[in-house]
Chains A and B, each alone.
Chain A
Amino acid sequence: MAQTGILLETDNGEIKEANFGVITAARETGDNEVVGFLMDGSAEACKAAVQEYGVKSVIEIKAGAGDFNASPELQANALAEAMRHYEVSALLGLSSTWGRDLMARVAAAMDAPLALDCVGVAVRDQIVTKSHFSGKTIAKIKLEGDVFLCGIRPNAIEAAPAAVEASTDVYTASAGDSGRLKVVETKGATSGVVELTEANVIVTGGRPIASTENFSILKACAQELGAAVGASRAAVDAGYAPHAMQVGQTGKTVSPKLYIGCGLSGSVQHFAGMKTSKIIVAVNTDKDAPIFTKCDYGILGDLFEVVPALTEVLKEQG
């Protein structure tokens, strides 16, 4: 029987919620067994959560030799080896920075087709739907071959539980490390920061935010919503926010349930990065701003008045 593999992503040993949508997508194939792969030794800890969504076996991948955590090449070789060992014909994962890097390494090593940033997948047909032209179009792509890989945009597929009883296993790969590439340091690691691409709610500031300090207004609102804070290209280019916060064509592509844009004009490039959001709300002082013609709800007003008011209302209503 064919098996569908899932590259499970964790954050400090805890399974990320965004995985559940990926598992749901893998399960749609019905008869396929879903095998979850973990790279950080957290199989036992994550088993309870992932079996709720139909993962039948949770495999912890290790390397026999080498500095596993510091070598992306070693991780990729080990994962490719495990995929062959468990006869996985499809590997699905999150199209996060980590998932994209690892899956691209595996796909290159196996010379297998890969599609990233997918918003849908038909595992048996080996057909994916994914963003194309930076979110302006959706492409339906056929992936040929015995094995294919697919990275799914966080939040793109709604998770649906289907509990099973999972087993755990450890796979120790014999793959070696070329030693050509190693992680020597991780900088700026902060806990409690919601990653833009995985956030359910995003509050974004445009150029009218006018300073780095003023982002605190958006952060206060984001805190009430459990949201991540984004910035437009104009705000980033003006130096008000780092590029890591940029949403749009040369920034992050996001699909939250709720996107609140404050002081955004609504450029084609910005929309390319967020138009697949479920609900888009715009706050702008200009009634003719293009954003009002392509969002769901609009508030005509100054973000410096509207956002604090919204924060207050959210606070009061819990």
Chain B
Amino acid sequence: MQIYVCIKHVPDTAANIKVEGPAGFDESVKFVVNPYDEYGLEEALQITAKTGGEVVAVTVGKESAVSSLRTALAVGAARGILVKTNAQFLDSGLTSRALQKAIQQDGTPDLVFMGKQSVDSEGMQTPYRLAKELDMPVVTEVVGVELGDGKATVERETGGGVREVMEVSLPCVLGATKGLNEPRYPKLPDILKAKKKEIKQVDMADLGLEDGSGNTEILELTQIPERSGATMLEGSPREASEKLVAILKEEKVI
């Protein structure tokens, strides 16, 4: 199977984000592969381990996103493709057009994986838009994949502990989430080997696309203020609970 996995180079979830300017941020923080994309990558690797074929990691990002492609190569992707842009935040429509063109220029996908969302812009829609561009069906929040003949049986989480089982024809786009599998960690020898693997770089312009041509624009980023510290409720568990209930009633939250 020829499987393309779309990944995003994002600030580490543990990083403290410092807003700079109206809509920028201090990009000197550590960047990693978007955690949800790791589940997609792992699933692709497990599938090709059984069926044979190739996993190709694709990203749209700055030059620095090469490091996330290297991580993908270190855990087992065969090749990488970087579509270069100057912005950390591209409109999801534009991102999906870039992904579609890069994928179709490279080969014919039997399956496309990605995370259900990025942890930085949290748009939650790139899988859907990419599927539209590729003219494929799409399922996100995927926690189970069973491949069959020309179709896949997919489980998705729909909240409240409910799961939907869906039948989807192949090729398709799947948006992975936690619970699908346990992503592997790269091992040192593989990290070294990954340095020799091929990463193809193309510019947005090579694909006939232009940075900043999307239909959404981030006007402003604001830090959510931290609370200043708790009012401690003293006394025995019983006394503290009584105080708490009185406060919560006063605040009209219960």
- Using a CB–CB cutoff of 8 Å, the interface residues on chain A facing chain B are 73, 96-98, 100-101, 104-105, 107-109, 111-117, 127, 130-145, 178-190, 193-197, 200-201, 225, 242-246, 249-251, 257-258, 267-269, 272, 275-276, 278-282, 291-302, 305-306, 308-310, 312-314, 317
Contact A185 B159 (CB under 8 A): no
Q: Is B147 an interface residue (CB 8 A)?
A: no
Residue-wise, chain B 208-232 has the 8 Å CB interface mask toward A (1 for contact) of 0000000111111111101101111
> Which residue of chain A is the closest to B133 with respect to CB atoms?
A108
Contact B220 A298 (CB under 8 A): no
Contact A309 B238 (CB under 8 A): yes
- Give the complex CA separation of A114 and B128 in angstroms: 11
Contact A312 B164 (CB under 8 A): no
Contact A97 B141 (CB under 8 A): yes
Provided the pairs A132-B120, A134-B119, A136-B223 are in contact, do residues A195 and B160 lie with their beta carbons within 8 angstroms? yes
* Across-interface contacts of B164 in A (CB, < 8 A): 183, 185-187
Q: Is B122 an interface residue (CB 8 A)?
A: yes
Q: Is B140 an interface residue (CB 8 A)?
A: yes
Contact B159 A97 (CB under 8 A): yes
* Across-interface contacts of B223 in A (CB, < 8 A): 136-137
Contact A272 B122 (CB under 8 A): no
- Return the contact of B224 from the options A137, A194, A244 (Cβ within 8 A): A137
- Give the complex CA separation of A287 and B236 in angstroms: 15
Q: Is B192 an interface residue (CB 8 A)?
A: no
Contact B229 A293 (CB under 8 A): yes
Residue contacts A-B, CB under 8 angstroms, 27 given: A97-B158, A108-B132, A113-B216, A116-B122, A132-B121, A133-B122, A134-B120, A137-B19, A139-B23, A139-B221, A140-B222, A180-B172, A184-B167, A185-B165, A187-B162, A188-B163, A190-B161, A201-B253, A225-B254, A242-B179, A249-B13, A258-B253, A281-B244, A294-B226, A295-B227, A299-B241, A306-B237
Contact B125 A114 (CB under 8 A): yes
* Across-interface contacts of B238 in A (CB, < 8 A): 309, 312-313
Contact A104 B13 (CB under 8 A): no
Residue-wise, chain B 23-51 has the 8 Å CB interface mask toward A (1 for contact) of 10100000000011000000000000000
* Across-interface contacts of B157 in A (CB, < 8 A): 97, 243-244
- Give the complex CA separation of A279 and B227 in angstroms: 10
Q: Is B17 an interface residue (CB 8 A)?
A: yes
- Return the contact of B217 from the options A109, A142, A187, A278 (Cβ within 8 A): A142
> Which residue of chain A is the closest to B222 with respect to CB atoms?
A138
B45 to chain A, nearest CB (A): 19
Contact A268 B13 (CB under 8 A): yes
Most chain A C-beta atoms within 10 Å of own C-beta, residue among B141, B221, B224: B224
B80 to chain A, nearest CB (A): 24
B148 to chain A, nearest CB (A): 12
Q: Is B168 an interface residue (CB 8 A)?
A: yes
- Return the contact of A138 from the options B140, B143, B172, B221 (Cβ within 8 A): B221
Q: Is B114 an interface residue (CB 8 A)?
A: no
* Across-interface contacts of B19 in A (CB, < 8 A): 137
Contact A242 B120 (CB under 8 A): no
Contact A187 B229 (CB under 8 A): no
B218 to chain A, nearest CB (A): 5
Q: Is B186 an interface residue (CB 8 A)?
A: no
Q: Is B205 an interface residue (CB 8 A)?
A: no
B13 to chain A, nearest CB (A): 5
> Which residue of chain A is the closest to B220 with respect to CB atoms?
A140
Most chain B C-beta atoms within 10 Å of own C-beta, residue among A109, A184, A278, A313: A313
Contact B125 A306 (CB under 8 A): no
- Give the complex CA separation of A145 and B91 in angstroms: 13
Contact B244 A297 (CB under 8 A): yes
> Which residue of chain B is the closest to A100 with respect to CB atoms?
B124
Q: Is B87 an interface residue (CB 8 A)?
A: no
- Return the contact of A297 from the options B13, B120, B224, B247 (Cβ within 8 A): B247
- Give the complex CA separation of A143 and B159 in angstroms: 28
A25 to chain B, nearest CB (A): 19
A286 to chain B, nearest CB (A): 13
Contact B216 A272 (CB under 8 A): no
- Give the complex CA separation of A279 and B252 in angstroms: 10
Contact A73 B253 (CB under 8 A): no
> Which residue of chain A is the closest to B153 with respect to CB atoms?
A184
- Give the complex CA separation of A275 and B36 in angstroms: 21
- Give the complex CA separation of A179 and B172 in angstroms: 13
- Give the complex CA separation of A179 and B49 in angstroms: 30
Contact A186 B222 (CB under 8 A): no
Contact A108 B131 (CB under 8 A): yes
B215 to chain A, nearest CB (A): 4
> Which residue of chain B is the closest to A301 with respect to CB atoms?
B237
Provided the pairs A143-B216, A225-B254, A250-B36 are in contact, do residues A137 and B222 lie with their beta carbons within 8 angstroms? yes
> Which residue of chain A is the closest to B116 with respect to CB atoms?
A100
Contact B218 A140 (CB under 8 A): yes
B41 to chain A, nearest CB (A): 15
Most chain B C-beta atoms within 10 Å of own C-beta, residue among A96, A101, A143, A276: A101
A288 to chain B, nearest CB (A): 12
- Give the complex CA separation of A188 and B157 in angstroms: 10
